[in-house]
Structures are given as C-alpha cells and as structure tokens.
Amino acid sequence: MSVVFDDGAKVLFQGDSITDAGRVYNDPGSLGAGYAYMAASWFSALHPEKRVSFLNRGISGNRAADLVGRWQKDCIDLKPSWVSIMIGINDTWRAFDGNDPTSAESYENSYRQILESAKKNLNARFILMEPFVLPYPEDRKQWRSDLDPRIRIVNKLADEFGAVMVKLDSIFADAAKRSEPSYWASDGVHPTGAGHALIAMSWLKAVGAA
C-alpha cells in the first residue's frame, strides 16, 4: 500500500482528550504527548521526502456537537488537506456520568455536518477513527449499548465520504486479549503510553506509512 498523502499535505488531528493529550493551546504547532505526536513523528521519520505537516486541535471533553461549534476556526481556517477525526466517547460517557445523553441521530448529524463542511470548503479527505471503550472498570461494559451505534455510524460515514478507516474498537479488543484492558487504557478510555502507541501504529498502517 502506498502512502495516501500527497507531497506537502497538511494533516489535522481532531477530537477529544485522547487526541488533545496535553497539547499546549497557545502553541499552534503543539501536538501534545499522545498518538497524534507519535504518528506525526514516525511518519516524518519514515517519509521525510514528503514534507507532510501536522496540526492538532483536539480538546479534552469535546463531543461531536462541540466540533461543529468550533469547526470554522479549528478546521476550515487552517486549510488542511486531510482531517483525522476521533470523536464520540464523551457523547457516550456523559450519558452515564452526567445524565446528559446525545442521541445517535444527533451524533450522526453533527459528524456529517463537519465532514460536509470540510469537503465543501476545502475538498479535504478524511481519516475516521472509531471511538472505543475497554471493559475496565467493570461498569464500562454498560457503555456498549450506547457506543456501538456510534461506531456503526462512523463506519457508515467513512464509506459515504471515502475515508480511510481506523477500526480502533476492534483493534483494542484484540489487544486486550494479549494483555489486560488496563494495560492499554487505565480507565477503559484514556490510553496509556502503550495504548497511544497502538493508536499511532494503527493510524500509520491505515494511511500506508508503515
């Protein structure tokens, strides 16, 4: 598989705390300390001739509707040629810890809105990453009924928009057979260093870079 990025491409990572990973908000070039930083660094080392640039605008706590609210500033104005998105776990989480659910229909509408905007205004291409949860602690198992429909929506949108797909939920489920779930995500959601590396490796494989 060849690398999907053209020479000089600009790749934007978007999402919630997993993408944010402690990035410095007042530093436009900060990639944080998670998978976005790892993936960008490895890609740049493996393919220096392509001169691909990377930006991260993930924000901790965001849901799909939050991306809609900041999409002009944090996507369209940045003029990326590729947009990598992982969003949805907070749409599920808030239903369980804050009695503030997001319907699957609302989630899909928000997600579709940002994809259509980036396609219309930038002719951008997409890398869509499944939201995921691991069964640790035990109560995370209850989340499947809410999260699984969102995962199906992401896969549907990936087909519809011709996106590169990174099937993180199944990737983490397989990884949890090799080592306990907390090895990959200490709370079932936020990746450990190994978990971030697994995401980065999966992303690089999906874009044909590794």
**Which residues are designated catalytic?**
17, 187, 190
Between CA 148 and CA 64 the distance in angstroms is 15
Between CA 71 and CA 121 the distance in angstroms is 11
DSSP 153-188: HHHHHHHHHT-EEE-HHHHHHHHTTTS-HHHHBTTS
Which of 190, 14, 36, 16 is closest to 118 using CA atoms? Answer: 14
Distant-in-sequence, close-in-space partners of 204: CB < 8 Å, separation ≥ 6: 39, 42, 43, 46, 210
Between CA 12 and CA 58 the distance in angstroms is 9
Q: Are the C-beta atoms of 64 and 111 separated by less than 8 Å?
A: yes
Q: In 124-145, which positions are buried (b, 16+ CB within 10 angstroms) versus exposed (e)?
A: bbbbbbbbbbbbbeeebeebee
